[in-house]
Amino acid sequence: MAPSEIDGIFAVGDYEIYLSCGGGPGPTVVFEAAVGEDHTNWSAIAELIRDRAYACVYDRIGVGRSSKPKPAMAANDHVAQLHELMEVAGVPRPVVLVGHSYGGFVAFMAAVAHPEDVAALILVDASHPSQDGRIEAVMTDAHIATFHGHLAEVGTVVDWNASSRQAAAAYGPLPDIPLAVISATRFDRSDDDPPDYPHDAIQRIWLELQDEHARLRPDARHVMAPTGHYVHVEDPDLVVDEIIRILQKL
C-alpha cells in the first residue's frame, strides 16, 4: 500500500518548509536541489519515478515556499532541517537521497550524520568541498574574480564558505549503502568568461573531483553524462535510469 500523498508546509524549528510527496508503493526518494533552486527543479524527474517509488521534493529554507532566513544558512543547518522535516511530516525512511550540485553536500552529509535515514545515495554533478581551491589553482587573479562573480548569488541563501568547511569535515567513507555518481562532461560556458578562461582545465579538475566522490564507496557506480551541469534537465532519462537501477538494489 502506497503512503499518503503529502503537499503542505511544515514547521521545522522556527521556520516553515514546503514538502510534496507522492507515488509508490516503493522506496522513498528525496531530491536535493542546487543553490537557489526550489522543488520545481526536480518535479519532472519525481513524476517519472512515481510509478515505482514514493518521490519527495521540497524547498530548503531560503527558496520557494519555505521561510526566508537572514543570515544565510550553511549545510549543517540544511542537513538537520531535512532530518527534522522527515520526522514531522512522517516521510517513510530510510530514503534514497538524490543531490545535485550543492544538494550533493546536503545529501552525503545527511548520509554521514543520519545513516538511519539514508538507504542509498545518488550524487548528480555534486559539489566537492575542495573544488574552490583546486579550481582557483589554475586561474589568474582575473579568472578568480570571474569565478566568484558566477557564485555571487549563492551568498544570499547559502553560506558557501561555511558549507564547504562543514562538508570537508564530513567528507570520507560513507555508510554501507549503494552509491551512484553522475558527472557532467561538458563545461557550462558563460558569455561573461574572458577569452582565456581555463574551461578545459576546470572541466578536467571537476571530473577528478567527481572521481573522488565515486571513491567514497568501493562498489560505487560512476556515470558520465554528455551534458552540462544540470544533467537532470538536459538528460532526464539518464538520471531516471540510474534512480531505477538503485531502487532495484533495495
User: Is 82 within the bounds of a domain?
Assistant: yes
Q: Which three cell numbers stand for residue 158?
A: 547559502
Q: Which three cell numbers stand for residue 92?
A: 517513510
H/E run at residue 133: helix 131-136
pLDDT at 120: 98
How many CB atoms are located within 10 Å of the residue 196 CB? 9
User: Is 1 within the bounds of a domain?
Assistant: no
How far is 149 from 109, CA to CA, in rounded Å? 27
Q: List the single range of 63-67, 195-199, 201-205, 235-239 with lowest mean pLDDT.
A: 195-199
What are the pLDDT digits (tens) for 15-40? Answer: 999 999 999 888 999 999 999 899 99
Q: Give the mean model confidence (pLDDT) for residues 64-75.
A: 89
CATH of the domain at 101: 3.40.50.1820
Domain count, the chain: 1
Q: Which three cell numbers stand for residue 147?
A: 569565478
pLDDT at 187: 82
Residue corresponding to grid cell 543547518: 77
How far is 60 from 64, CA to CA, in rounded Å? 8
Q: Which three cell numbers stand for residue 186?
A: 561538458
By the 8 A CB rule, do 94 and 54 touch?
A: no
Report percent pLDDT > 90 for the chain: 80
User: Is 226 within the bounds of a domain?
Assistant: yes
User: Is 201 within the bounds of a domain?
Assistant: yes
pLDDT value at 160 more than 70: yes
Q: List the single range of 53-67, 141-155, 175-189, 223-237 with lowest mean pLDDT.
A: 141-155
What are the pLDDT digits (tens) for 170-222? Answer: 999 999 999 999 999 998 777 777 788 888 999 999 999 999 999 999 999 99
pLDDT at 154: 66
How far is 98 from 236, CA to CA, in rounded Å? 13
pLDDT at 152: 63
- Distance in Å from the first CA to the final CA of the chain: 17
32: Cα separation from own chain's centroid: 4
Report percent pLDDT > 70 for the chain: 97
Residue corresponding to grid cell 572521481: 211
User: Is 58 within the bounds of a domain?
Assistant: yes
Domain extent for 149: 6-247
What are the pLDDT digits (tens) for 92-131? Answer: 999 999 999 999 999 999 999 999 999 999 999 999 999 9
